[in-house]
């Protein structure tokens, strides 16, 4: 098969009849349901874009020769890495970086899993073969994927096996000739309702000990596997038009709690089984986390460009661009953008071939970027709020403008320096949906927790950082002091 079109994506979802629940009801057809149909249309647009820009987004499959997505391509050279990122950017610019789990994110994950499949042989040679075949299968069928890494949030002070009801979490129940029966809950599958398959992997951040082996596994199954249920949070797409909710009506990906009720995972879909040690090392040693971070930094750049565009448009619209503090806030966003671009440049141009044969970006550059962006993104949202002020609440709807009694009055009342009232409100509704609506608030929360808990990511970063040269530098400086310790303070 080749890369899929938007139509094929929708058709597959329609036929799969995945077990999706929302607002207390089972969803018959996600492609028709108000909570999902708009974001499904956006996802379909992404898949169609592959055929609108084939020179950027498609390449010849190494196994079948078919045209498949560049976001699945194993990079062998720096040029390949750049080609991957340019394809990623095409998708990211479509949504202004607002679809955090667009297919490129997990395509990077499975691509690295396939290239580094030998890593999984440590558990069983069959698991390496499974990883290789699954990556090929995902690429050749252009699977859309969701993922879940986190155990339920019961008592974070205890290991999984110590929890008062330890089997709430996804765990191995038994092994049969067909495969492994698993049961329990995982969090939090963004796009769970609108994808073909789920990959269950360990956390990239939280490490487990041997007693957590029953909870330590990695596998992939179709979302319509019997016993698998996606329980979605309430939708932030309120069914309003694109003027009223410009982002929520297009890019509401949805987040789901995933329940496995005695689900059979076939043997050929298992990558890690009951092995906390392999789980703890999987993302780092396969370099999957590096290729995912490469995608994430590209996404962050597209998102920052979009935020900057909104901030500058607000400045123009209400004539505040000449004020010193306003310019300084614009500068903060510009600096964020340029710093992220520098991280990306360094990551790509200092890339090296890894032991699996993948051209792998410089992790230090990406690790710094992925630790920094969650800390800075809430500030970007805050800047939009500070600049927009009352304009973010003076936001009548499309229906108000259409009302014959008040429409013309409104258009005059809410005019801006360079915009008619209708266009000014359109812009400010965008700024509101980016930062303050339920959709916008989730974006800020999402960015903070995108790659894991930033506090623990920061602790890991601190612990792994090579601190000695800096301490040494200071020691050598101190040694150059021409004074010596006075006799009376000598021990």
Ligand X SMILES: Cc1cc2nc3c(=O)[nH]c(=O)nc-3n(C[C@H](O)[C@H](O)[C@H](O)COP(=O)(O)OP(=O)(O)OC[C@H]3O[C@@H](n4cnc5c(N)ncnc54)[C@H](O)[C@@H]3O)c2cc1C
Residues lying near ligand X in the complex (CB under 6 A) are found at 101, 147-150, 153, 156, 187-190, 255, 442, 445-446, 449, 452-453, 455-456
Smallest gap from residue 148 Cβ to ligand X (A) = 4
Smallest gap from residue 243 Cβ to ligand X (A) = 25
Instruction: State how far the Cα of 485 lies from the Cα of 303, in Å rounded to an integer.
Output: 55
Smallest gap from residue 150 Cβ to ligand X (A) = 5
Q: Quick one: 156 or 349, whose CB is closer to ligand X? A: 156
Smallest gap from residue 169 Cβ to ligand X (A) = 12
Q: Quick one: 53 or 206, whose CB is closer to ligand X? A: 206
Smallest gap from residue 445 Cβ to ligand X (A) = 5
Q: Quick one: 30 or 317, whose CB is closer to ligand X? A: 30
Q: Quick one: 268 or 453, whose CB is closer to ligand X? A: 453
Q: Quick one: 145 or 427, whose CB is closer to ligand X? A: 145
Q: Quick one: 336 or 443, whose CB is closer to ligand X? A: 443
Smallest gap from residue 248 Cβ to ligand X (A) = 14
Residue 188, preceding bond cis, omega within 30 degrees? yes
């Amino acid at each position: 098969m080749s890369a899929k079109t938007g139509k094929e994506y929708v058709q597959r979802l329609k036929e799969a009849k995945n077990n999706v629940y929302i607002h207390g009801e089972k969803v018959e057809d996600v492609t028709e349901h108000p909570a999902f149909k708009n974001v499904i249309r956006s996802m379909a647009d992404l898949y169609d874009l592959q055929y609108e820009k084939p020179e950027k987004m498609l390449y010849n499959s190494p196994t079948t020769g078919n045209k498949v997505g560049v976001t699945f391509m194993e990079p062998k050279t720096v040029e390949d890495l750049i080609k991957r990122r340019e394809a990623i950017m095409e998708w990211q610019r479509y949504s202004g970086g607002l679809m955090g789990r667009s297919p490129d994110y997990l395509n990077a994950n499975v691509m690295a899993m396939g290239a580094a499949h030998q890593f999984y042989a440590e558990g069983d040679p069959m698991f390496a073969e499974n990883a290789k075949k699954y990556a090929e299968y995902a690429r050749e069928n252009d699977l859309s994927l969701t993922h879940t890494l986190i155990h339920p949030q019961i008592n974070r002070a205890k290991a999984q096996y110590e929890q008062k009801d330890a089997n709430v979490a996804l765990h191995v129940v038994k092994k049969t000739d067909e495969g492994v029966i698993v049961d329990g809950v995982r969090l939090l599958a963004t796009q769970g309702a609108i994808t073909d398959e789920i990959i269950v992997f360990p956390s990239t951040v939280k490490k487990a000990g041997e007693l957590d082996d029953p909870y330590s596994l990695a596998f992939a199954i179709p979302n319509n596997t019997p016993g698998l249920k996606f329980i979605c949070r309430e939708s932030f797409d309120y069914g309003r038009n694109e003027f009223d909710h410009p982002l929520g009506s297009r890019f509401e990906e949805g987040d789901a709690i995933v329940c496995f009720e005695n689900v059979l995972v076939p043997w050929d879909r298992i990558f890690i089984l009951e092995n906390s040690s392999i789980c703890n090392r999987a993302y780092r040693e396969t370099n999957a986390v590096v290729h995912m971070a490469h995608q994430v930094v590209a996404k962050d750049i597209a998102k920052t460009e979009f935020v900057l565009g909104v901030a500058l448009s607000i400045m123009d619209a209400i004539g505040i661009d000449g004020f010193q503090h306003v310019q300084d806030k614009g500068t903060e966003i510009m600096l964020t953008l340029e710093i992220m671009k520098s991280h990306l440049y360094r990551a790509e141009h200092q890339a090296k071939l890894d032991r699996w044969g993948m051209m792998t970006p410089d992790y230090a550059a990406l690790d710094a970027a992925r630790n920094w962006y969650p800390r800075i993104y809430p500030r970007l949202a805050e800047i939009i709020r500070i600049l927009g002020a009352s304009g973010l609440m003076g936001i009548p709807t499309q229906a108000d403008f259409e009302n014959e009694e008040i429409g013309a009055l409104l258009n005059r009342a809410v005019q801006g320096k360079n915009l008619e009232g209708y266009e000014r409100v359109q812009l400010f509704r965008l700024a509101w949906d980016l930062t303050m609506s339920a959709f916008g608030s989730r974006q800020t929360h999402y960015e903070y927790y995108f790659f894991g808990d930033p506090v623990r990511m920061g602790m890991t970063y601190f612990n792994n950082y090579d601190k000695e040269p800096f301490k040494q530098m200071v020691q050598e400086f101190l040694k150059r002091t021409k004074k010596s310790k006075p006799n009376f303070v000598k021990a």
